[in-house]
Chains A and B, each alone.
Chain A
C-alpha cells in the first residue's frame, strides 16, 4: 500500500522488529536497573560537576579576577566555552528540524537524543555569560522590565543583548519541541508501568496523552510548523553569536564571513558530539538495531561536508586578509599561524580540516572505532577554533606595549571541566529515565524501512499488503481473492500437527501457534521422523508432550524458536521451563540436528 520504499535503500531498522519489539526495546533501559558502568560514569561526571560548582562559588565570591584574564585578553576561556557549547547544541535542532523538512527518515533514531544534547549543552553555554556577569543574581537586568532606576533600558543595538534573546528563544523553543515529541513516548512507558509510582510520574510527564486520531493530526502539524520555525532559528542563533565578534573592530573578528562560517562550524561540532554520545549509547542500551552503521555513516558524511565548509572558511579568511591590504588584519592572521599560539592554530587545522577528510573512505566512515576517535578529535579541534579566534586576536592588539599571553587558572579549567560533568550528569540521567528513541515516529517507518517488511516485499512483491502480524484477515480481502482467509470462519484450518484442543486455547493463541509453526517449520508425519526432545536440558516426558501438543517434534523446529515463541509457550502452558533452563535449547538442538 503506502509503505513502498525502493529496495535499494538499506533498512533503517534491523533485527526483524515488529511494533511491539520497538516498544519493548525503547522501554527496556527505563524499566531496567542501571548497571555498574553507568554508576561509575555517573559518579565521575558528578564529581566533575561538583568541582565546577565549587569553582563557580569561588569565582562569584572572589570576583572575575580569579580567572586568567588580563587587561589585553579580556575574553578567553569563558567565551570560548560558551561558543563551543552553543555550537554543539546546533546539531540537535539540525537533525530534528532541518532533516524533518527534508523528510530524512534516518533522523528518527537519533533525533530524541540529539535534541536532549541540544538542551543540555545550551544550558552549559548559558552558564558562562551569567557567571561572567560577576553578580549572577542580577542576570534579570538583561530583560527589558520597568525598573526602579528611572528609564534605564538595555541597549538593543548591542549584539550581546541580541544573544540574550537568541539563546533564550533557542533554549525554550528546543525544550518545547523536545517535550511535545516526548508526550506519546512517555504515554507508552506510562501504559507499560507496573508500579504505581512510575505510572504516576510518567502519567504527569505524558500530560495524559491518549493518542486520539485528532491529537495525532495536530501533533504532526505542530511538529512540522515547529521544524519550520526552528530551522531559521538555529541559523539565527549562531549568526548572532558570531555578531558578538563580527560587529567589533578587532582584526580577525571584523569579517562578514563569520555568520555562515560559525553556523557550519556549529553543525560540524554538534554532529561530532552526537556521534560520540550515540556510539556509546547504542552499545550500552542495546539499540544497535535502530542506530545502525548506516546512521553512523550518514552522520560521518555530514561531519565531512561541514568540516570541508569550515576548511574553506579558514582559507577564505586568510585570502581576504591578504587581499584586503589592511596591515592589522594581515598581521592578525600571520600571528595566528606563526605567532606564539601557532600550536593552537595548527591543532585546529589538523583536527577540523584534515581529520574529517579520511571519511572519503567508506571503510573508515563505516568503522565504529574510527568514527568515535574522529568525533572526539573534531570536538577538540572546534574548541581550539574558538580559542584561536578569541585569544590570538586579542593577545597582540593595536598597542605592542600591551601585548601579552593568556594562561588559564585552575578556576578557568575547573569551570570548563565542571560544565562537561554537568552535561554528562544530565545526559546520563536522561538515558535512564527518558525514551531515548522517538518510538512513535520509528513505528511509522517500520513498514517502509524495517528489514522485516523489506524482506517480505523482496519475497512477495511490492503490491501485496503484508499483514503478517495479523490475527484475523478481513472478510472483504478474502472475498476479493487478495489473501487466503485464516481463522475461525474455517474452523478446522489450523495446523494438523497441533493437538491443542485439550488446552482450551483461544482462537488468537491457536493462530499464534500456526504463525509460529510457519516460521520454525512444520512437522510432516508422512516424511519426517520425530526427534527425541528429551535430550534437551530440562525436558522430561511432560514438557515433551507439551511440545508435541503444539506441533513441535523436531530438533530443527526447536533450533528456530525465538524469545517470542518461548513467551507464547509460557503463556499457553502454566508449567514451562524458565529462561535459565531453556537458554541453551537452540544451540543444543542445532548440534543434535546436525548429528542426525
Chain B
C-alpha cells in the first residue's frame, strides 16, 4: 500500500532540533531524520531508545576473555605441558601471570570487532549496500525530516512545517 510522506528540508541543525520538538508536540509522526553529522540531543528529542551497543561490547569482551583462558589453558596446561627454563606449566593459576597480556589482547579484539560488526548489521551497513538518504545534500549541509502524512490534511501539515522553518517541503508517494 502506498503511503504518503512529507520531506521537510532544513538548513540549520538548531532549527531542525527545534522543529523536531514542535512536530512531536503536535503529535505528527516523524518517520526518520537524516543529518550530515551527529546532532547533540537529537536522539532524545526524537524519543529514540538509548543504544545497547556498549552492553554488547562488554559481553563480547567477556567472550574474548573466556576464549583466551580456554585456549591457553588447553595448549599450555592440558595438551602439552612443558618445563620452560625451570618454570613448569602444570597449573593454570601458577602460570597465569604470563597469560595476562594475551588475555587482555583477546578481550579487546573480540569486544571491538564484534561490537563494530553488530553496529554494521543493526544499522544495515555493508559494502554494496545502496544508500538510502532521499536527498544527496543531507551528507553536506542539509537536514531532512520525513513525516508520515497518514490522515492529516496535507495542506495544513505543509503550512505547519513551513512555519517551523523548513526551507523545502516535498510530498512523496512511498511504495
Interface set of A (CB-CB < 8 Å, partner B): 1-3, 18-20, 23, 144, 151-157, 159, 161-162, 165-166, 169, 172-173, 176-177, 180, 183-184, 187-188, 190-192, 203-222, 224-226, 229-230, 232-233, 236, 240, 243, 440-441, 443-444, 447, 465, 467, 469-477, 508
Contact = CB atoms under 8 A, between A and B. Distances in A.
Interface in B7-56: 11-15, 18-19, 22, 32-43, 46, 48, 50-51, 53-54
A156 B103 CA distance: 11
Q: Which are the 10 A-B pairs with shortest beta-carbon distances?
A: A208-B129, A19-B141, A191-B136, A475-B163, A474-B165, A207-B125, A216-B38, A443-B37, A210-B133, A440-B37
Contacts of A205: 127
B131 A190 contact: yes
A578 B53 CA distance: 52
A112 to B, nearest CB: 14
Interface in B141-175: 141, 162-167
A505 B132 CA distance: 31
Nearest to A508: B167
16 contacts: A2-B41, A153-B75, A162-B102, A169-B106, A190-B139, A192-B139, A203-B131, A204-B128, A208-B124, A215-B123, A226-B112, A226-B115, A229-B57, A229-B108, A236-B101, A477-B18
A508 to B, nearest CB: 7
B66 interface: no
Contact of B51 (A208, A218, A232, A470): A218
B130 A203 contact: yes
A28 B164 CA distance: 34
A258 to B, nearest CB: 14
Interface residues on B, range: 35 or more
Contacts of B50: 217
A221 B54 contact: yes
Contact of A144 (B14, B75, B133, B162): B75
Contact of B115 (A212, A222, A443): A222
B101 A240 contact: yes
Contacts of A192: 136, 139-140
A208 B141 CA distance: 18
A157 B36 contact: no
A155 B43 contact: no
A90 to B, nearest CB: 15
Interface in B75-116: 75-76, 79-80, 82, 84, 87, 89, 95, 98-99, 101-102, 104-106, 108-109, 111-113, 115-116
Contact of A207 (B34, B82, B120, B139): B120
A157 B109 contact: no
Contacts of A18: 141
A474 B140 contact: no
B75 A156 contact: yes
A169 B109 contact: yes
B125 A169 contact: no
A474 B163 contact: yes
Interface of B: 11-15, 18-19, 22, 32-43, 46, 48, 50-51, 53-54, 57, 71-72, 75-76, 79-80, 82, 84, 87, 89, 95, 98-99, 101-102, 104-106, 108-109, 111-113, 115-116, 119-120, 122-133, 136-141, 162-167
A226 B116 contact: yes
A470 B15 contact: yes
B38 A444 contact: yes
Contacts of A204: 127-128
Residue of B71, B125, B129 most packed against chain A (CB within 10 A): B125
A182 B51 CA distance: 21
B125 A209 contact: yes
A173 B132 contact: no
Contacts of B98: 156-157
A27 to B, nearest CB: 9
Contacts of B120: 180, 207
Given A23-B141, A212-B32, A443-B36, 12 more contacts: A157-B76, A165-B101, A165-B106, A172-B109, A173-B109, A191-B139, A191-B140, A209-B131, A217-B43, A440-B38, A443-B37, A467-B14
B140 A213 contact: no
Given A19-B141, A229-B111, A219 B126 contact: no
Contacts of A212: 32-34, 123
A61 B105 CA distance: 34
A19 B130 contact: no
Nearest to A475: B163
B84 A155 contact: yes
Nearest to A167: B105
Contact of A221 (B53, B76, B101, B165): B53
Contact of B40 (A2, A224, A472): A2
B116 A180 contact: yes
A157 to B, nearest CB: 4
Given A218-B119, A222-B116, A467-B15, A207 B108 contact: no
Nearest to B99: A156
A208 B139 CA distance: 12
Contact of A169 (B51, B87, B105): B105
A207 B126 contact: yes
A121 B13 CA distance: 38
A226 B113 CA distance: 9
